[in-house]
Structure 1
Amino acid sequence: MGTKNCINVWLTLLLLNLIPSLAAIWGSRYYMVTIPAVLEAGAQTKFCASLLEPNETLTMTVTLKSGEKNTTLYEKTSSEEFHECIQFQVPLVKNEEVQKLEVQVQGNTFYSEEVRKVLIKAYQPMTFIQTDKPIYLPGQTVRFRVVTMDTKFRPASQLYTIIKLEDPNNNRIGQWLNETSNSKILQLSYPLNSEAQEGSYKIIVSAGENKIQHNFKVEKYVLPKFDVTINVKEEVSVGQEVIEAKVCGKYTYGQPVPGNVTVKACRPFVDYISKSQRKETPCDIQTQKADKTGCSTFEFQMSIFTRGDQTVLQDKLDVTATVEEEGTGTSLSQVKQIQISYVIGKLSFVDVPNVYDQGSVVEGKVKAVHYNDTPMSHQSLYLLKDYNWPPHVLQKLTTDVHGFASFSLRTDALTEDIFLRVKQVSPLPSLSYSTYKVPHIPIASHTITKSQPPSVTTTSSLNIKNKTILPCDKETEIFIEYTLVQESPDSVDFIYLVLSRGAIASQGRILVEVENKSVNEGEVSFKLNVSPDLAPEVQIMVYAVLPSKKVISQSTDFSTEKCFNHKVSLEFSSSSAVPGEETKLQLTAQPDSLCGVSAIDQSVLIKEPGKTLDPEKIFSLLPVRKVSEIPSEVVEPMDCLLELLMSRCCLKLNNPFYMKVLLTHLFMDMKKLGLKMATNMFTGLLQCSKILSTMSSVYDYGKAEEILEPIKTVRTFFPETWIWDLVETGSSGTKNVSLTVPDTITTWE
């Protein structure tokens, strides 16, 4: 049997298999239960249940089944639609265990049952180590803390069977046995020998089956008195004439550094070019005197770095800035890389519809801007149709002073989707010229779909507008754009799920009225309270069952500000003080909290940047920040029609026709979010294993029964670590601490 006949036969079998399921959907009475594929053992979590268009009284029962016990999580009888999320306690397991979620929906004339596997997993407590600074001189005292929390950032009791300190040769030079946290902060110290070997040292903490390691340096060093910053764009275009760079030198106490500033910018050769083949590296060196703010601004001509054969040069600039202090000759350098782009402009379609009706006039605009987003006026452009060769030029456009060019197309003779392209005018309107190391404006594209009568597939769509970073502890609005094609007038529920750290945080629905027209387009929104429990990542999915019983969906990931439930603040009685002055530190947190407070000379952070504890390091401890797949242990072992088609007819997954027939966006969006779906809808056919392949320096750890004895350390007149204390706030939640300002003239962080 030929391939074509084979496809026809198996497609017929496929449709015969689909007809009963589709008939069940079109006969209404369908439901959906959504639950994360992985559940944290012992935690409170949620699943969401929906019942749509019941034409009789139905009872939904959700049961979690294990080999030892069956637990009814939810039971509801209703003759009306509902969408709700239910919170329940996940059973405790030792390590991990696969259990089954059974969903039954039954009435007088209807019965359906779906079973899905879920993985219950026990997460270990999270432990981190903090040293008072990242680098030490031989003879100094290493002070460190060990903190253990659960996945909700709550303090947890933990026995540390052994804590050891190793030198660069992996020799154990210190150890502590059977220390316990008692749900507090464990604080320890170790005095280094005055002849201690220079190199990288390790603190290793054994907590249960886990080992946590923290590194620090020991070396003979002199702290820098000032810092150097380079302010320059991360990427520059060969289309610009000048590259600007601003360099500043500031003392650690905030004052500008007087002296000279030298900047060297070079474009290096590619690695495979031998030294004998290399000519002089394109470089430019400039020196200026710092102004009264300690800064200097430099301008480099782009032409210096684009002369000659550019194929032997890397697409980057290495910028080295050096500040030399006046009077002492002390200098400090910083290095930064700038990427070089050959894109000199950008084209885009504006106000162009996504769907058209045959016989209508399609109108829209093209926008052209330079590399710096300024309008590209009087620019000649080709408006092209399809991917054909030679390209089919529809119109030649010219932008106005604002960079816009309008166009219109009649669609009387068109019977398919319109694929539009726009490109700058060149000698030939080619779509395939090489852009490698050639200044160019990328081709822009836009597809206008021809409206179709209802079918198995749909051109209706949803789009969640993305924002850069969601602000914490604030209410933000999430906008959803929708396009509904060839749908009969009715009300449609847009159902949204909000997930964080692999769990469902909330659910809601938005009612949309479908008007009597071929294309309904619009925008709806819902308000999301971005609480600390949602940080640092939020995943949102929106789906809708349309009047034609087709399902559309979309999911999007959002980043949030990194924040915590326990708010801690500290304030000095004065923002500046002279050496030896008495000052007060006011610490505010929740009542009866134990807080770790530290203050370090900013010079240490200039020498070893990025080595201190910060919110990102805390959030990186989470076992789950966001989910992108379903574990193989709980992929449903069902026969797959697509696998059958592939094996018999040699079809491939990237065949768009069969992907449209067999896959729905809803199922794929669920999979991307790590969600399991128990439903009697069309998507249930597709579950196949072959298709699914500011904390700053202060921390609040809740209530403390008692404060650990402070470690007695020898303080010098110029300490690099000024404050390293555990402070209990008491019942008022506020504690005032008297301090003496060190003699070091610097900024303390």
Structure 2
Amino acid sequence: LLFSGTTLSQEKTYVLTAPKVFRVGAAEKVVVQAFDYEKEFLVNVAIRSYPDKLAVYSSGRISLTPANKFQDAVTLRIQPTDLPRTDNSVKYVYLEAVSPHFTRLKKIPVSYENGFLFIHTDKPIYTPDQSVKVRVYSLNEELRPAQRETVLTFVDPEGVNVDIIEEEDFTGIVSFPDFKIPPNPKYGIWKIEAKYKKNFVTSAVAKFEVKEYAMPSFSIIIEPESNFISSDKFENFRIVLKASYFYNKRLAHADAFIRFGIIEETGKRMMPRAMHITRIENGVAVVNFNSKKAVSSIGFQSLEELDGSYLSIVASVLESAGGLSGEAEFTGVKFSVSPYKLGLIATPLFVKPGLPFFIKVQVKDTVDHYVGNIPITITAKSFSEQMDETILISEDSESGRRKTSINDGTALFVANIPSDSKVLEFQVKTADPHLSDENQASKTYEAKAYSSLSQSYLYIDWASNHKILQVGDIININVYPHSQYIHKIHHYSYLIMSKGKIVSFGTQNRIKDLEYEHLTFQITQEMVPSARLLVYYIVMGEETAELVADSIWLNVEQTCGNSLDIKLQSRKEILNPAEVVSLNMKTQSNSFVALSSIDKAVYGVTGKGKRAMEKIMLRLEKSDLGCGAGGGRNNIDVFRMAGLTFLTNANADDSNEAGETCNEVLRSKRSDFREQIHRAASKYTNREIRNCCMAGVRAYPVMETCSDRAQRIRSNEKCVSAFRDCCELANRLREEEPNKLLILARMHFEAALELDEAEVRSYFPESWLWEVHQVSPRSKTLSITLPDSLTTWEVQGVGISDKGICVAPPLEVQVVKDIFLSVYVPYSVVRGEQIELKGSVYNHRDSAIKFCVKISAGNGICSFGDSATTGSRMHNCNFKNLDGGSLAPIKFRILPLELGLHTINFTLLTSRSSETLVKTLRVMPEGIKRELHSGFTLDPQGAYGLIKRRQEFRYKVPLNLVPKTKVDRSVSVKGKL
């Protein structure tokens, strides 16, 4: 500590606050406040090189005056050219503050994480012959277009880098060439990795799947009455099955076959005797499932044996009068002895002696849905330093009983903390009258007392008024002070941080003789999606000053800085295929808007109904430098857990260099859990052993240890060992999650044509409208032509401007006809094997029609009943009646004779209209596909020993090669230049 000028009196104090990590290229705000000064003075703040202090990377000057209550801020920025990244070692700078009254220096670490990258693909799943459309949204720390060169790497399921692409960024939307999936690709989950080419280490990862599939004809939704089966539903569990076409019309009549299984740690076991066969009428069927009876067929006798397992529900649906079918699976129903989970909201586990402590408890079911109107009880006791016990809330007291709110499943309790308290222990427990005592949920917490030399404390009560905040809200937060020198406290100061930056600060006068005071401020766009409020005061004790602080975490609803709205300018709710419509985009400011559209039938393949783009805002929280839900053991800890470092002469010294790891993780960083688990599982090269590891990761009741669970595994010792190791790792990681201490709600961001000539429908993309448009000024209208698919399109728009990124609410465009034909064609068939192509003719009009369907195939496809031997052939047509509001099946048998892609035309003829459906059939060779792999290393320079520059491959054509097939050879090279 260096002082310049005259000696300061004990009452003249200051606090300098800054982020505990400086990010290169980002604007960082540093706040300086002085207390008990009367005259204006200047403070020069600078960032200097470490360790020599010779270079000044950034500097600024502020004036502290009575008018600004001796509190002001300066914005500093380290340019990447001034402090380039040379290796992966941690770099530091000095933060320097110089004034006539004090000179201070602080060593601060530097991070090269700067900005945000979001990867967007046109769809989540691809067949081997398709291409991946991909773009990247690139923002800097101020959420403006970063305009940095970006690199994409495509990685196959085996971890091999298949392609690397670089592109410049001019608008914040980086468009890349389509990635063509290579011949004979690896099936499974591929990754796209994005990063900046230079200066920064910011990165992002997206995944897509490569598999052979054909688009489903209708969606099947399985809706269980709840997401868990407990004792009250063990013998009677209601399941609703819904089936509808992707153009939003329900299946009128269908047969449903429902199979059940149990998903255990070691795999899935089906229960053949539990199959239900039922009818779907007007798109809905209801099934009552007796779990107790069903599981007895595979050896389970009680709910306790199933605790932690999941129920697999597989539904196969077949049109009663048509020829189309589909299948869906739901695995989200959990067997649970206790149907409830307990957690805390807005309740940092640090108490302040002599002040009230508000406890907000939340009850959820086993899959994290709020549960209201549930009685819960709490008991609390305090321990002094000598471990003397004081009962604060007894088991039978009125203050220890509440019912949870219907809105969010919460209940509020308050405990008055004694002045000598060092530790508070409290237990919360459900008191559901329908459950036995052993089926109630219970949880015990421990809160430690804040440590103060002068026994001065500050408590921010956010639990009693907690809510999800919105931009524009003006909030009042109760602040409770407690000190024997309270008459010397004249005002409170506060800082608000978001995404690792100080976004607001201020000072509010204290009103004397009030037990608590309201701190009032407004929520701004800068505080999205979360913020941390830190409040502090400085109090003079007998001889020394002390800095006293507290903080809380605020949840702010996700909103766009620049709103984006996408609408169709059409009076019709239902559109026709190939119809030309107008699409209007509106924004608040000039923007670039990236459009995309996906066939909702794709979700029928992936089983996922939400787009990854809806989660963009969650990624912004990775810049939060804070830790946990707020509070701390002392003043230093409060600042550190809020993501700040400080300098003061008020009897506190933050000598840490932000090297400590945060073990408490809020919702935005749960991916760290997945990454660590993935890293552990990847050690096991054998797939079966890796599955044993992942089985151990699955959450399970804490009353059973990993060793107890491992004893039930009937497999080899390697499997048991992997299970136990991964189970113990997962439990350790869960212990570190604050959701054991704190569960915070997260809001979501979230006429027929009558033609004389046959209408040809041949354009059936799974995604389209992959375009970027500049919207200036504030509105633009496009003319678009809808594809030929009869489905519901989900149109997504992402806007980038100087005000940040905005994801528009998805626009659903429903496309259908009154009379049409649908035929299911599989992804591939085998040459020489006869197959039956099934389909349906739909009449959504009220009146009956006559119809017939013809099939026309080219060379290489033999359709039965056709005597032609060359050229395109079409069958004769026999007309049939079809009532209004009904459907009729069609079937055609074909024999594929030649390999490759073949076009098949299906023509529907009616008295009112006609259409031709063009489908592509892929014919594969018979036999079994075999792959041979051989690898070696070339060492042209002899860097690892002997020089090796040449390697010969000698492969013979297999003797049992299927006729008219070819051998594909590919070479993959990976190395360093």
Letter in 2 for 1:249: A
Secondary structure at the aligned position of 2:640 is classed as: helix
Q: Residue 719 in 1 paired to residue 709 in 2?
A: no
Query: Relative to 1, partners in 2 of residues 1:488 and 1:238: Cα closer, same or farther, differing over 3 Å?
Result: same
Q: Take 1:299 and 1:347, find their aligned partners in 2: how far apart are those partners? A: 31
Letter in 2 for 1:719: P
Q: Which residue, 578, 602, 605 being the options, matches 1:604?
A: 602
- State the match for 1:680 in structure 2: 649
Q: How does 1:202-601 map to 2 (within 5 A)?
A: 208-209=197-198, 215-224=207-216, 225-230=218-223, 233-234=226-227, 238=231, 245-258=239-252, 259=254, 289-290=279-280, 292=282, 294=284, 296=286, 298=288, 312-327=305-320, 328=323, 330-339=325-334, 340-342=336-338, 374=373, 397=396, 438-440=438-440, 442=442, 456-458=454-456, 460-465=458-463, 470=468, 473-477=471-475, 479-482=477-480, 484=482, 486-489=484-487, 492-515=490-513, 521-522=515-516, 524-531=518-525, 533-546=526-539, 550-574=546-570, 575-589=573-587, 593-601=591-599
Q: Which residue, 162, 167, 177 being the options, matches 1:188?
A: 177
Offset of 1:302 from its aligned partner? 8.1
Secondary structure at the aligned position of 2:61 is classed as: strand
Q: Which residue, 76, 82, 90 being the options, matches 2:70?
A: 82
Offset of 1:504 from its aligned partner? 0.6
Q: Take 2:251 and 2:316, find their aligned partners in 1: how far apart are those partners? A: 8
Are the equivalent residues in 1 in contact too, given 2:489–2:538 (CA < 8 A)?
A: no
Q: Take 1:206 and 1:382, find their aligned partners in 2: how far apart are those partners? A: 51
- Compute the RMSD of aligned alpha carbons: 5.8
Letter in 1 for 2:214: V
- State the match for 1:114 in structure 2: 104
Structure with bigger RCO (C-alpha 8 Å, 6+ apart): 1
State which drifts further: 538-547 or 382-391: 382-391
Q: Take 2:609 and 2:122, find their aligned partners in 1: how far apart are those partners? A: 14
Q: Residue 134 in 1 paired to residue 134 in 2?
A: no
- State the match for 1:614 in structure 2: 613
Q: Take 1:119 and 1:266, find their aligned partners in 2: how far apart are those partners? A: 53
Q: Take 1:668 and 1:31, find their aligned partners in 2: how far apart are those partners? A: 18
Q: Take 2:360 and 2:128, find their aligned partners in 1: how far apart are those partners? A: 66
Offset of 1:299 from its aligned partner? 6.6
Q: Take 1:539 and 1:286, find their aligned partners in 2: how far apart are those partners? A: 53
Offset of 1:100 from its aligned partner? 1.7
- State the match for 2:699 in structure 1: none
1:147-198 per-residue CA deviation (whole Å, 9 max, x = no partner) reads 544333433444468x77777788998786x753444543523566898775
- State the match for 2:779 in structure 1: 734
Query: Relative to 1, partners in 2 of residues 1:265 and 1:546: Cα closer, same or farther, differing over 3 Å?
Result: farther
Q: Take 1:572 and 1:421, find their aligned partners in 2: how far apart are those partners? A: 56
Are the equivalent residues in 2 in contact too, given 1:45–1:89 (CA < 8 A)?
A: yes
Secondary structure at the aligned position of 1:748 is classed as: strand
Are the equivalent residues in 2 in contact too, given 1:347–1:422 (CA < 8 A)?
A: no
Q: Residue 743 in 1 paired to residue 788 in 2?
A: yes
Q: Take 2:362 and 2:584, find their aligned partners in 1: how far apart are those partners? A: 56
User: Could you list the runs of 5+ residues in structure 2 that have no partner in the other structure?
Assistant: 1-6, 86-90, 345-350, 366-370, 404-414, 663-746, 751-760, 795-977
- State the match for 1:68 in structure 2: 55
Are the equivalent residues in 1 in contact too, given 2:318–2:326 (CA < 8 A)?
A: yes
Q: Take 1:157 and 1:386, find their aligned partners in 2: how far apart are those partners? A: 57
1:350-392 per-residue CA deviation (whole Å, 9 max, x = no partner) reads xxxx9999xxxx9x99999999654669x9x999897999999
Query: Relative to 1, partners in 2 of residues 1:243 and 1:148: Cα closer, same or farther, differing over 3 Å?
Result: same
Q: Residue 154 in 1 paired to residue 141 in 2?
A: no
Q: How many equivalent residue pairs?
A: 638
Secondary structure at the aligned position of 2:615 is classed as: helix
Identity value in percent: 15
Letter in 1 for 2:552: T
Q: Take 1:199 and 1:370, find their aligned partners in 2: how far apart are those partners? A: 34
Q: Take 1:159 and 1:628, find their aligned partners in 2: how far apart are those partners? A: 30
Are the equivalent residues in 2 in contact too, given 1:568–1:695 (CA < 8 A)?
A: no
Secondary structure at the aligned position of 2:645 is classed as: strand
Query: Relative to 1, partners in 2 of residues 1:396 and 1:542: Cα closer, same or farther, differing over 3 Å?
Result: closer
Are the equivalent residues in 2 in contact too, given 1:55–1:79 (CA < 8 A)?
A: yes
Q: Take 1:367 and 1:219, find their aligned partners in 2: how far apart are those partners? A: 45
Are the equivalent residues in 1 in contact too, given 2:430–2:442 (CA < 8 A)?
A: no
Offset of 1:677 from its aligned partner? 0.4
1:534-563 per-residue CA deviation (whole Å, 9 max, x = no partner) reads 333322222233565554322233343444
Are the equivalent residues in 2 in contact too, given 1:464–1:481 (CA < 8 A)?
A: no
Offset of 1:607 from its aligned partner? 1.5
Offset of 1:285 from its aligned partner? 6.1
Are the equivalent residues in 1 in contact too, given 2:529–2:617 (CA < 8 A)?
A: no
What TM-score does the superposition give when structure 1 sets the normalisation length? 0.67
Offset of 1:602 from its aligned partner? 0.7
What TM-score does the superposition give when structure 2 sets the normalisation length? 0.53
Secondary structure at the aligned position of 1:683 is classed as: coil
Are the equivalent residues in 2 in contact too, given 1:670–1:676 (CA < 8 A)?
A: yes
1:202-229 per-residue CA deviation (whole Å, 9 max, x = no partner) reads 6677852578775544433111221424
Q: Take 1:384 and 1:461, find their aligned partners in 2: how far apart are those partners? A: 19
1:509-548 per-residue CA deviation (whole Å, 9 max, x = no partner) reads 3333241xxxx643524233231x4333322222233565
Query: Relative to 1, partners in 2 of residues 1:185 and 1:589: Cα closer, same or farther, differing over 3 Å?
Result: farther
Q: Take 1:355 and 1:743, find their aligned partners in 2: how far apart are those partners? A: 67
Secondary structure at the aligned position of 2:788 is classed as: coil
Q: Which residue, 44, 48, 73 being the options, matches 2:31?
A: 48
Q: Take 2:110 and 2:190, find their aligned partners in 1: how far apart are those partners? A: 38
Query: Relative to 1, partners in 2 of residues 1:232 and 1:523: Cα closer, same or farther, differing over 3 Å?
Result: farther
Query: Relative to 1, partners in 2 of residues 1:88 and 1:337: Cα closer, same or farther, differing over 3 Å?
Result: same
User: Could you list the runs of 5+ residues in structure 1 that have no partner in the other structure?
Assistant: 1-23, 349-353, 427-434, 631-659, 698-714
1:696-739 per-residue CA deviation (whole Å, 9 max, x = no partner) reads 99xxxxxxxxxxxxxxxxx942222232223333x433222222
Q: Take 2:353 and 2:153, find their aligned partners in 1: how far apart are those partners? A: 70
Q: Take 1:695 and 1:422, find their aligned partners in 2: how far apart are those partners? A: 31
Q: Take 2:359 and 2:555, find their aligned partners in 1: how far apart are those partners? A: 33
